[in-house]
Structure 1
Amino acid sequence: MEKIRIPQLIIALFLLLIYPCLVKAGTPGHTINTDMAQSKYQPVVTADRSTYNEESGLYNLSGNVRIQCEGRLITANNAKINANTLQVWADGRATITEGELTFTSDALYAELSGNTVWFFGNRCGVERPGLMIHGDNMQYNWKTHIVIFDGHVLWVHKGKSNTTTHLEFDLEKDDVAR
């Protein structure tokens, strides 16, 4: 009878006990940044945890989610992203940073290949030096740089505060759009 050596025993234990857990945790054939790199926009995605759902085609991300794409950074506690359509659903202190602009909300929906992001929750707002606008909900078109607020809207611009129920603000012109 041949003696089993300790290194062989360690490898055998690894294969029997640990390897099945690793295979279950990962999704063969799918890694988020490899899938994202196939798109024209090539977002870079990081999170503490990431799983792929074969049925829905969505990556489920949780913990310190960061999605960098085309000069914008989306951060949130949780997100789902479709690698094919580049649709993003994020919640839990969802923010977008674009240059000196910071957009905040409880949740957001965006198509990274599109033009518009929708923000939801009690804390929808945009800020930059000299400007602060908050409302019940908000949408932002990053091609036209127009942000639209509805509901209880409070805005402070050039030292003056205003309230309204609807506001369309052109961030490029630094003035009310309509």
Structure 2
Amino acid sequence: MKKTLFPLLLALVLLALSATALAAPNFSFDSYSLDFAAGRCVFDGNIRIVANGCTFQADHAEVDLKTALKYLKNGTFDAQSGVSSPDFEVWCEGNVSVAQDGLKLTGDKAHVIGKTHEAVVEGNVRLERPKLTIRADRGLFNWDNQIAQFDDNVRIRQGNREINAEHAFYDVAKDELL
């Protein structure tokens, strides 16, 4: 359930960066509430976002209230409302995941930052490709340059080969370690 928020934010940011108009992402969740005191919109339960070939999932997500109010219309989340990627940040937790073209990136929580086009994933971070698995305590993915950085307790498995390191970089587009 928690795997939906991170992919949602990434999908929304990718849509906002696109030069062509794309259809609004399919965004679903069980419930949301507006926390005016904290200045947050809180999404809970079965958060799932499908957009631009990406599927994002999470159990819990929070968005800045001013930004969320630009998107929320009649109880739905509308990505065509004119909010640009620099406006958008999402904090999510609980089984966060993003999947696209054979890539699967998971973790306990994530902070997606539209301004820098990055997603910071923490806790039990795992990237899976058909012939590669990378695990770490922390990961950073920049969707512009398609580079993933892994830090702290990095464990890389390629076939029968296993590597331990404190840092590693992976080029998602080229499917290779740097």
Q: TM-score, normalised by structure 1?
A: 0.68
Q: CA-to-partner distance for each residue in 1:63-92, whole Å, 9 max, x for gaps?
A: 111133433222111001243522111101
Q: Which has the larger radius of gyration?
A: 1
Q: CA-to-partner distance for each residue in 1:30-76, whole Å, 9 max, x for gaps?
A: xxxxxx8xx94644431111112345553211111113343322211
Q: TM-score, normalised by structure 2?
A: 0.68
Structure 2 equivalent of residue 97 of structure 1: 99
Q: Distance in 2 between matches of 1:150 and 1:159?
A: 22
The CA deviation at 1:112 is: 4.8
Structure 2 equivalent of residue 142 of structure 1: 143
The CA deviation at 1:114 is: 4.8
2:60 to 75, 78, 82: 78
Question: RMSD value over aligned CA atoms?
Answer: 2.3
Structure 1 equivalent of residue 167 of structure 2: 166
- Any gaps of 5 or more consecutive residues in structure 1? 1-35
Decide whether aligned partners of structure 1 residues 128 and 176 sit closer, same or farther in structure 2, where only a CA change above 3 A counts.
Answer: closer
Decide whether aligned partners of structure 1 residues 139 and 94 sit closer, same or farther in structure 2, where only a CA change above 3 A counts.
Answer: same
- Any gaps of 5 or more consecutive residues in structure 2? 1-11, 18-23, 69-82
Q: Distance in 2 between matches of 1:87 and 1:73?
A: 18
Contact 1:137–1:150 under 8 Å retained in 2: yes
Decide whether aligned partners of structure 1 residues 156 and 167 sit closer, same or farther in structure 2, where only a CA change above 3 A counts.
Answer: same
Decide whether aligned partners of structure 1 residues 88 and 70 sit closer, same or farther in structure 2, where only a CA change above 3 A counts.
Answer: farther
The CA deviation at 1:158 is: 4.4
Tell me: higher relative CO, structure 1 or 2? Use CA pairs within 8 A at least 6 residues apart: 2
The CA deviation at 1:170 is: 1.1
